[in-house]
Amino acid sequence: MLQSVRLVEQWQRIEQELPEGWSDARLELTVTDAARADRAAALLGPLMPGRAGKRIRFFTAVRGAGPGPEAVRRLLELLDEEPIEGRLELLASDRATELPETHRPSLASSWEAALAELPDDWSDLYAELELTSSDHLERAALLTAPLNPGRYGGTPGLRFRVARTFGYGASPQMTLRCLRRLDEDGIPGTVRILRSLASTEPVGTQGPVWYLGGKVV
C-alpha cells in the first residue's frame, strides 16, 4: 500500500508553486476519514476555517491581518502527528481572484441590489464582506466598525448582522454608509447576504440568533 503524502509536504509543494509576490491564498483540506473531520477542524481553529462535511477551507496571508504560511505549516504538522490524512488543494491566490477595478461594481451598489431582491417584510440579515486581499482587512475593519464586524470562515473578509428596525445588528442605512467609506477608500471586495429572516417579532429578547459551527452569531 502506498503511503499517503503528509499534509505538511502537500503545503510545501503548493507554496513553492504560488506566483512570486503572492499575498494570500485560499486552501481546502478534504479529510480522508469523515469521522476525523471534527478533530481536524478543531486543530486548525487558529486559521478560522470554514467547514462543510469533510471539506475544510481556510486562507493564509504573507502579511496583514491573516494567519501566515508558518502558522499553516505548524498546524498541519499537528494533523500529521495525529495522524489525520487528507488532500490539500489550492483554490485561489490573490492574483487568480483579483479582477480589474473597471469590472467590479461598488460595494454600496452591490448592497443596494442585494436588498432589492429581499421580500418587503425582511427584518434581520447576516451578511459577508469578502475582500480581494487580506492586506485590506485591518483598514476595512476600522471603516466598518459601526457594524461590529467579525472574522469567520476561510475567506479574507468580515461578517456582520443587520436589523431593519430593532434588535441585534446595524441599520441598513449605517451599513450603506460604511460600504461607501470602503468604496471611497478604494478597498475592493464583494458583499453578499448569507441569511435572512422576515417579520420576526421577538418576545423577551432583542432579536433572533443564528448558530454557525456551534457558535452564536
> Which CATH number is correct for 7-97, 3.30.1240, 3.40.50, 3.30.70, 3.40.109?
3.30.70
- Sign of the dihedral defined by the CA atoms of residues 148, 188, 58, 197, in that order: positive
* C-alpha closest to that of 190 among 94, 108, 102: 108
Domain 7-97 and domain 101-200 have a common topology: yes
Q: What's the pLDDT score for residue 154?
A: 65
Contact 140, 129 (CB under 8 A): yes
pTM as predicted: 0.55
Instruction: Report the relative pairing of strands 24-31 and 86-93 from DSSP bridges.
Output: antiparallel
Q: What's the pLDDT score for residue 23?
A: 81
Query: Residue 141 and residue 175: Cα distance in Å, rounded?
Result: 13
Q: What's the pLDDT score for residue 98?
A: 47
**Quick one: cell of 23?**
499575498
Q: What's the pLDDT score for residue 129?
A: 93
Topology classification of domain 101-200: Alpha-Beta Plaits (3.30.70)
Spans in the chain with pLDDT lower than 70 = 1-3, 63-66, 95-104, 153-154, 199-217
Q: What's the pLDDT score for residue 138?
A: 87
Going from N- to C-terminal start, the domains of the chain cover 7-97, 101-200
- Tens digit of each residue's pLDDT (9 = 90 or more) over 46-89: 887 888 889 998 888 876 556 788 989 999 999 999 999 999 99
Query: Residue 153 and residue 143: Cα distance in Å, rounded?
Result: 21
